[in-house]
Amino acid sequence: MNPNKAPIGQNGFFEQEILKNLLSSMRELVIGIPKERIPNETRLALTPEAVGLIVDQGHRVLIERGSGFGINYTDSDFAEQGAEILDTSTDVYQSDIIFKILPPTLEEAEMMKPRATLFSFIQLIDFSSAVLDCLVRKKITAIAYELICDEHQSLPILNAISEIEGLAAVSIAADLLSSSHNGKGILLGGVPGVPPTEVVVLGAGLAGTAAAKGALGLGALVKVFDDDVFRLRNIQRILNQQIYTCNFQPNVLDNAFLSADVVIGALHFMTTGIRHVISEEFVKQMKKGAVIVDLRVSRGGCFETTCCRKASDPYLYTQFGVVHYCMPNISCNVARTTAMALSNVFVPMIHRIGEVGGVSALLKIDSGFKKGVYLFDGRLVNRYVANHFNTVAGDLDIFLS
């Protein structure tokens, strides 16, 4: 007899005990999804299909009425999958766990129940000290999507958004070059006998790679700049062709801007205090009617002409004859695709949280998940966030012990 396979019933008692222990450790989660209040923010953390999977796991999902309209889902779509549709934000914010997109406003933070857990993008440019003080006072545990790592130590949520926004940037640029938007009336790409459109991509990370891939697919001539030779080598490997790559040599960059029809800003400065911004002198010499798409407006901007813009400022404007597109979160333009990508990450994450007995339990055993925490029980534990607010971060491991 196979020593690893006992007769039926022989290990039944032990299997029942294991199942009993597993079920007793599992915890029903109450997850709230409020409606976003910031103008043009149409994204949502979960699709109806994702909600159905979470409800099937034994959890409750509370959704504010009308939250899904931005991704073209009705309240009925969510209700049919088991979600509870609530009329007010106040009721939704009484959930144990809040999944939203943007960091909360002060009004939203005030509605949260004490010791709740908040999941959202952090976007420090929109994060006020008053909101932080409120979260601290309420002993909130807050987790930033951008900082969560998986078992491969990659950033699954940030990576998904970066790829979406890189591809979306090419589509937007193509639209702005067309005559329908009073553009130059040129095709982003190339046809036989016509010089191809020139696209400059700043940054060879995931967003830059996706943008380069999309532009190449349309037939454009693509040049990629980055200060990391490893990333430049990697983008050539991924795209499987010898595209033009260079580090930030001023003279070379100057010539690239002179001939560029489109410049896409995808510089990487998420967790570093060092920020390189492209001088307006480069922008001034670009061709009239050329297009700049900045994917980093929510992190301060890649260009001197796009830095420090307020939420109330127009996201489409012309400066020095160059069209600037500066929507803080370009993935809002493809909100449904974004919701699907986020759901792919959140469904197994929520299952894991319930399986081990809650957020704190998962933080003790999952180092990648732990990297996303910037507040734990109201205590600041992330150095990057602490530096932004000119304060000191505590040691999360000590608080978890």
Q: In this predicted model, what pLDDT tens digit does every residue of 246-278 receive, in sequence order?
A: 999 999 999 999 999 999 999 986 554 556 689
Say whether both 173 and 242 belong to one domain: yes
Say whether both 182 and 278 belong to one domain: yes
133: which 2 tokens? 């003080």
Mean of the pLDDT values across residues 77-84? 98
pLDDT 10s digits, 320-330: 999 999 998 99
Mean of the pLDDT values across residues 340-360? 97
Residue 352's pLDDT is: 96
- Biggest CA-to-CA distance, the chain: 82
Residue 300's pLDDT is: 83
What single-letter amino acid sits at 73?
Y
pLDDT 10s digits, 58-74: 999 999 999 999 999 99
Residue 401's pLDDT is: 85
- Domain containing 41 equals 12-154+335-400
Q: Is 31 helix (H, G, I), strand (E, B) or coil?
A: strand
Domain end marker among 328, 349, 366: 328
> What total number of domains does the chain contain?
2
Question: CA angle at residue 332 from 331 to 336, to 5 degrees?
Answer: 85
Say whether both 166 and 301 belong to one domain: yes
> What's the Cα-to-Cα distance from 136 to each of 97, 113, 359, 374, rounded to whole Å?
16, 12, 17, 11
Residue 11's pLDDT is: 43
| Whether pLDDT at 31 is above 50 | yes
Residue 241 in domain: yes
Q: Is 323 helix (H, G, I), strand (E, B) or coil?
A: strand
Q: CA 401 to CA 163: how far, in whole Å? A: 37
Say whether both 145 and 201 belong to one domain: no
Residue 115 in domain: yes
Q: Which residues touch 28 (CB under 8 Å, ≥6 apart)? A: 58, 59, 60, 354
Say whether both 172 and 321 belong to one domain: yes
Q: Are 291 and 320 in contact (CB under 8 A)?
A: no
Confidence of residue 307 (pLDDT cuts 50, 70, 90): confident
Q: Are 26 and 36 in contact (CB under 8 A)?
A: no
